A and B are shown apart, each in its own frame.
Chain A
Amino acid sequence: MRVALFITCVNDTLFPDTGKAVVTLLRRLGCEVEFPTAQTCCGQMHVNTGYRDEGVRLARHFLDVFGGYDAVVAPSGSCAAMVREQYPKLAAGMGATRAGAFASVHQGRSPFAQEVAEVTPKVYDLSEFLVDVLGVTDVGAYFPHRVTYHPTCHSLRGLKVGDRPVTLLRNVRGLELVPLPAADECCGFGGTFAVKNAGVSAAMCADKVANVMTTGAEVLCAADNSCLMHIGGTLSRQRAGVRVMHLAEILARTEAAR
């Protein structure tokens, strides 16, 4: 199986350790991982901020880069959701029939739409790839810490990853998983929302942080570094003494590598 790592622009630039952890983990599970260096960005920031044309340009580039692989793995629920959930909508918006809101299924017949239909079903969030494609729920990890998990909106409601990440964490040796109250509520990141509506974003994060604190966890885990950058940045500002870690980084730890 040819597995391509879609690192995402944010991880590539700011959180390379997450990418390294994915590589370590997938290799440990017997995958051959490729990193197509021509990749840049899925276009989410542009599309979601209202720069549709720029976003579509980046989407076309994404499809070119990742076209030939059996599976594309992204350590970001949000970017995976952008590709799998939003690309088809973008395609429908540009399609010749312009089915729009009256049709139950978006129809698009443009070459872009065809490429979207071909490539995007093979794009997975890390937990989906591990559980659904590799069929693994125990990745042999060891992480002796008290951890709480924030499911992040786009993993939960976009990709509908369900309890896959939690199942993976439950099988990590030494890890004590504490449920996060009101876990399904948004942390307030929302891309440019965090800057455009900084006040509301901060208010939402205040509640998220309060919930994290009630768990007594040492580590807040999520499968999206954007949300973690927001919550972690707030935790750090408050000197809360809780650190944030991407799911991949926990799953990559083993007793041998401790």
Chain B
Amino acid sequence: MSGSGTFLGMPSFPENAEKALQDSQLRFNLRKATHTIRGKRAAVVEELPDWQELRAAGKAIKDDALRNLDRYLLQAEEAITKAGGHVHWASDAAEANEIVTGLIRATGETRVMKVKSMATQEIGLNEALEREGITAYETDLAELIVQLGDDWPSHILVPAIHRNRSEIREIFTEHMAEWGRPAPEGLSDDPRTLADAARLHLRERFLSTKVGVSGANFLIAETGTLVVLESEGNGRMCLTLPETLISVVGIEKVLPTWRDLEVFLQLLPRSSTGERMNPYTSMWTGATEGQEFHLVLLDNGRTKVLADEIGRQALRCIRCSACLNVCPVYERVGGHAYGSVYPGPIGAILTPQLRGMASELDASLPYASSLCGACYDVCPVAIDIPEVLVHLRSKAPHAPAERLGLTAAGWVLDKPVRLERAQRLATRFRGLVPKRRLPGPGAAWTATRDVPAVPEESFRDWWQRTEEGGGR
């Protein structure tokens, strides 16, 4: 259920948020998780004296990669082909799904195992394969929880962040049997026991499945090397054991040179899981150890983002999720409210650019932020998320009532004399301003806050009365 189609027709962000805000279990889980990982990240970032230099280099490398993307993609294609791999180009989700389906069909298999991949979620690959009679098994523990629970991921790194241990125990007990080996009898909700249950459930699948599907964190243009960072070993299983490996990778994942990894292998683990290094990183070039290898390069709106001079910096994103973990909005509403596989601050700037702002949900995403700037501070590639949010707001459709209000305010503020008159009007009727119940859009303010008393005289009137002997 995690595909892009799922989110069609979802209400606007504030409506989704309102529901999430009332879910005390969700609020508790999110608070605990985001604060834990926030603290871990801060500690390991603090350890590196050259963090800001690494960040500046990460930004520069990504900017170079994007500026010369055509050249680097061709270079990667050549290197991979030379190393016995096959490279396919997909301009949109439908084409990518078609290519992957065709490649799987050619193997004669109807089961594939997957390592967590944002790109394949974005294109709704699992659903597309299901329609063609191919079952895709998710193998990352959190993705397994999401798949078994017929649920959506709600975090880039920890997709089941919205579930606590007892919910996970219930999902395993009730649904593991539908997908393979059932959960052990009398399963407890101890995380160690739950992880062991997942190990048992997936073991046989890893050893027998002949096709693996992955994404990638980086693609090195110079050498054609693909890089996948993970923790559990399910990635290594999917990348290593199958006879055929298909990797679906967004075109923006390119890094120009092998050396560039020295920057990103420091930036990503520390920003993402808050570790000095993630347990496992796999790197391979072309067909490896006798495996058949296919790379599907995915555009699906990325070139449209690239054409936006302010918005294109979102393509620097390395999907670390540090911005989610520090975002006060994400912390309170979780990932589902964003209605996209890309939640949180990065989702609020990426989704409207990839999908456009025609739907009510997508048009509301650039406003899903108080512009507090915490996301920009932690971003390892220095994406100025507030800048892009503001930029997208200027392109978003505005409600007629809001436009009227802001236009009127603009008219008043255009000339000091108009502002002065408006202030005097407010002062004259100050007794009539209700403290606890404003009409119209003001009601949203007074729902939880009192209104400050309008003063007897504005500052400018005071100044003119006392400093300039009144009036002009």
Contact = CB atoms under 8 A, between A and B. Distances in A.
Q: Do chains A and B touch in the complex (CB under 8 A)?
A: yes
Interface of A: 7, 9, 11-17, 19-20, 35, 37-41, 45-52, 54, 57-58, 61, 86, 89, 93, 98-102, 104, 153-154, 157-158, 184-186, 188-205, 229-230, 232-234, 236-237
Contacts of A39: 416
A203 B459 contact: no
B21 interface: yes
B423 A12 contact: yes
Interface in B362-403: 366-374, 376-377, 387, 390-391, 393-396, 398, 402-403
B459 A50 contact: no
Nearest to A16: B459
A20 B463 CA distance: 8
Contacts of B373: 153-154, 157-158
B343 to A, nearest CB: 14
Contact of A233 (B13, B310, B449, B463): B449
A45 B398 CA distance: 14
Contacts of A46: 406, 409-410
B372 A190 contact: yes
A57 B414 contact: yes
B452 interface: yes
Interface string B259-277: 0000000000000000000
A196 B66 contact: no
A7 B460 contact: yes
Contacts of A153: 370-374
B91 interface: no
Contacts of B452: 14-15, 229, 232-233
Contacts of A58: 410, 413-414
B409 A45 contact: yes
What's the dominant secondary structure at chain A's contact region?
helix
Contacts of B333: 200
Interface stretch (B82-90, B207-215, B439-447): B439-447
Given A16-B462, A233-B451, A47 B390 contact: yes
Contacts of B444: 194-196, 198
Chain B: number of interface residues, binned into ranges? 35 or more
Given A9-B413, A38-B416, A197-B14, A50 B393 contact: yes
A40 B407 CA distance: 15
Contacts of A230: 449
A40 B450 contact: no
A12 B420 CA distance: 10
B33 interface: no
A48 B460 contact: no
Interface of B: 13-14, 17-18, 21, 59-60, 63, 66-67, 309-313, 328-329, 332-333, 366-374, 376-377, 387, 390-391, 393-396, 398, 402-403, 406-407, 409-410, 413-416, 419, 422-423, 426, 436, 441-442, 444-445, 447-452, 454-455, 457-460, 462-464, 467, 472
A157 B410 contact: no
Contacts of B311: 101
Contacts of A35: 460, 463, 467
A196 to B, nearest CB: 5
Contacts of A194: 444-445
A233 to B, nearest CB: 3
B21 A186 contact: no
Given A41-B413, A200-B368, A230-B449, 16 more contacts: A13-B419, A13-B458, A16-B455, A16-B462, A50-B393, A57-B410, A58-B414, A93-B310, A99-B309, A100-B312, A101-B309, A157-B376, A195-B445, A202-B448, A233-B448, A236-B449
Contact of A199 (B17, B451, B463): B17
Contacts of A233: 445, 448-452
B374 A186 contact: yes
Contact of B406 (A49, A102, A200): A49
Contact of B387 (A50, A89, A185, A198): A89
B459 A200 contact: no
Most buried by A among B387, B423, B448: B448
Contacts of A38: 416
A232 B60 CA distance: 43
B419 A9 contact: yes
Most buried by A among B60, B333, B452, B454: B452
B455 A14 contact: yes
B410 A51 contact: yes
A102 B63 contact: yes
A50 B444 CA distance: 20
Contacts of A19: 459, 462-463
Contacts of A16: 455, 457-459, 462
B367 A197 contact: yes
B406 A205 contact: no
B459 A101 contact: no
Contacts of B415: 40
Contacts of A99: 309
13 contacts: A9-B413, A20-B459, A51-B398, A101-B310, A104-B59, A186-B370, A193-B367, A197-B367, A199-B18, A203-B332, A230-B449, A233-B450, A237-B450
Given A11-B459, A233-B449, A201 B390 contact: no
B14 to A, nearest CB: 5
B459 A37 contact: no
Contacts of A188: 328, 370
Most buried by B among A40, A47, A61, A86: A40
